């Protein structure tokens, strides 16, 4: 199930169930998420040709290369490939926090809200949430205020988690620095859920390492806008990643000839970062085109995501667009996501299709 930005269900759960698999093998324009991007032919060739070994034994040269390249790109000592962003964030939380300790996290952050409570279930780590501000940042005075005194009554805060981008919004580098200063003063570690850090770096026109700089650990996704089929990478100090590898093994994320997946990641890092500027331009054009129609309000548009609301019934609109081979998840707020498989022409086709529907409805 996919939730919209305001946390409401985009489509009644029952309908998502019945729609599951509807899009298999159909040509379409898919604006539901950047996770739907598929590996290109060139990426598949790189995967097929990858040199591999048993990575649990440390024998896979392609995984080792991906980890070295990602650590270098993000300016950290070490890295590890994991199957998903959820597992990457969880390994970080488990490495930073002991049982009964707290992590401070945005109330609508992926790490808290969309990861099935893994930190609590598997780490006995207690979340302390704070509201996420409209610009995606946290109010650092509020963060400071929820850090509990040293007292037997209280769980001790150990970690502060930030998400960049959040709902497509790029957090200012100055905010990240302020968060790091607070974490330092209070003796907390700092983790970045940078699933879409690449989009932030492209939007800010800085190196990825600059976005990653203030953090002790950073999780990045290969399988969203970068277009790889599977995988996330956790980066940090050599010691943190050493601990992370133990947690990854325990969580079932030790993989064998995973060089096949790492090859896709390496291809993506080499070819698919800079081109995200096109995704950002496409999202802006989509927001502009849709916003020009009566009965459509663009709530925000940031990096590769446009959030719009329709006066018309969004579920009926979703159905109608599906008939045109266009996949969206209409809800009270509809999140439209551009990515490597959505072209500028696809955006125009979508604007036209929505216009036609609104004119006829
Ligand atoms: C997608 C995403 C993740 C990780 O998701 P997986 O599906 O587990 O790879 C983590 N954080 C954010 C903000 C995300 O968007």
pLDDT value at residue 20: 61
What residue owns the CA closest to ligand 1's atom 5? 85
Ligand 1 pocket check for 115: Cβ under 6 Å: no
Taking the CA of residue 109 as reference, the ligand 1 atom at the shortest distance is: 13
Long-range contacts from 323-327, C-beta under 8 angstroms, 24+ separation: 324/353, 325/26, 325/27, 325/28, 325/29, 326/28, 326/29, 326/31, 326/350, 326/353, 327/23, 327/28, 327/29, 327/30, 327/31, 327/32, 327/36
Q: What are 238's two structure tokens? A: 């050599």
Q: Which residue has the tokens 């291809």?
A: 267
Pocket test for ligand 1, best of 2, 193, 253 (most atoms within 8 A of CB): 193
Neighbours of 347 (CB within 10 A): 24
pLDDT value at residue 230: 98
Distance CA 286, CA 352 (A): 10
- Which of 256, 228, 232, 262 minimizes the C-alpha distance to 58? 256
Contact 303/204 with Cβ under 8 angstroms? no
CA of 113 to the centre of ligand 1 (A): 11
Distance CA 152, CA 154 (A): 6
186 sits in the region (left: phi over 0; alpha: psi -120 to 50; else beta) called alpha
CA of 295 to the centre of ligand 1 (A): 32
Pocket test for ligand 1, best of 82, 84, 221 (most atoms within 8 A of CB): 221
pLDDT value at residue 19: 52
Ligand 1 pocket check for 84: Cβ under 6 Å: yes
Distance CA 311, CA 159 (A): 42
First to last CA, the chain: 28
pTM over 0.85: yes
Pocket test for ligand 1, best of 81, 84, 86 (most atoms within 8 A of CB): 86
Distance CA 29, CA 326 (A): 5
Residue 11 is inside which H or E element, if any? none
H-type alpha helices, 136-230: 140-146, 173-186, 197-204, 208-212
**Ordered per-residue pLDDT tens for the chain, 361 residues:** 444 544 444 444 333 444 566 777 665 999 999 999 999 999 999 999 999 999 999 999 999 999 999 999 999 999 999 999 999 999 999 999 999 999 999 999 999 999 999 999 999 999 999 999 999 999 999 999 999 999 999 999 999 999 999 999 999 999 999 999 999 999 999 999 999 999 999 999 999 999 999 999 999 999 999 999 999 999 999 999 999 999 999 999 999 999 999 999 999 999 999 999 999 999 999 999 999 999 999 999 999 999 999 999 999 999 999 999 999 999 999 999 999 999 999 999 999 999 999 999 7
Ligand 1 pocket check for 193: Cβ under 6 Å: yes
CA of 356 to the centre of ligand 1 (A): 34
Give whole-number Cα distances, 18 to 14, 23, 104, 327, in Å.
Answer: 6, 11, 37, 14
Neighbours of 11 (CB within 10 A): 21
């Amino acid at each position: 199930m996919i939730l919209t930005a305001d946390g409401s269900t985009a489509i009644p759960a029952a309908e998502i169930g019945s729609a599951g698999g509807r899009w298999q093998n159909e040509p379409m324009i898919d604006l539901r998420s950047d996770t739907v991007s598929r590996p290109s032919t060139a990426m598949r060739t790189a995967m097929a040709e990858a040199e591999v070994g048993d990575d649990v034994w440390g024998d896979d040269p392609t995984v080792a290369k991906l980890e070295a390249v990602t650590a270098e790109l993000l300016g950290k000592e070490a890295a590890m490939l994991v199957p998903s962003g959820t597992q990457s964030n969880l390994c970080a939380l488990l490495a930073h926090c002991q049982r009964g300790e707290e992590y401070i996290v945005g109330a609508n952050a992926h790490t808290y809200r969309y990861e099935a409570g893994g930190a609590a279930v598997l780490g006995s780590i207690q979340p302390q949430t704070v509201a996420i501000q409209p610009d995606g940042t946290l109010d650092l005075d509020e963060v400071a205020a929820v850090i509990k005194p040293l007292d037997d009554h209280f769980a001790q805060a150990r970690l502060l988690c930030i998400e960049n981008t959040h709902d497509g919004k790029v957090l200012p580098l100055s905010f990240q620095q302020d968060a790091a200063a607070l974490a330092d003063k209070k003796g907390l570690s700092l983790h970045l859920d940078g699933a879409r850090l690449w989009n932030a770096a492209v939007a800010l026109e800085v190196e990825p390492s600059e976005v990653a700089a203030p953090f002790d650990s950073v999780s990045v996704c290969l399988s969203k806008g970068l277009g790889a089929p599977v995988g996330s990478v956790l980066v940090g100090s050599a010691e943190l990643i050493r601990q992370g590898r133990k947690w990854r093994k325990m969580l079932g994320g030790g993989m064998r000839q995973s060089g096949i997946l790492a090859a896709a990641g390496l291809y993506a890092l080499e070819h698919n970062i800079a081109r995200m500027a096109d995704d950002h331009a496409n999202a802006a054009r989509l927001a502009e085109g849709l916003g020009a129609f009566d009965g459509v309000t663009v709530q925000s548009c940031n990096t590769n995501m446009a959030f719009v609301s329709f006066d018309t019934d969004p579920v009926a609109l979703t159905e109608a667009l599906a008939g045109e081979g266009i996949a969206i998840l209409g809800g009270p707020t509809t999140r439209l996501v551009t990515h490597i498989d959505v072209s500028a022409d696809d955006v125009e086709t979508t604007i036209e299709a929505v216009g036609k529907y609104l004119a006829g409805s």
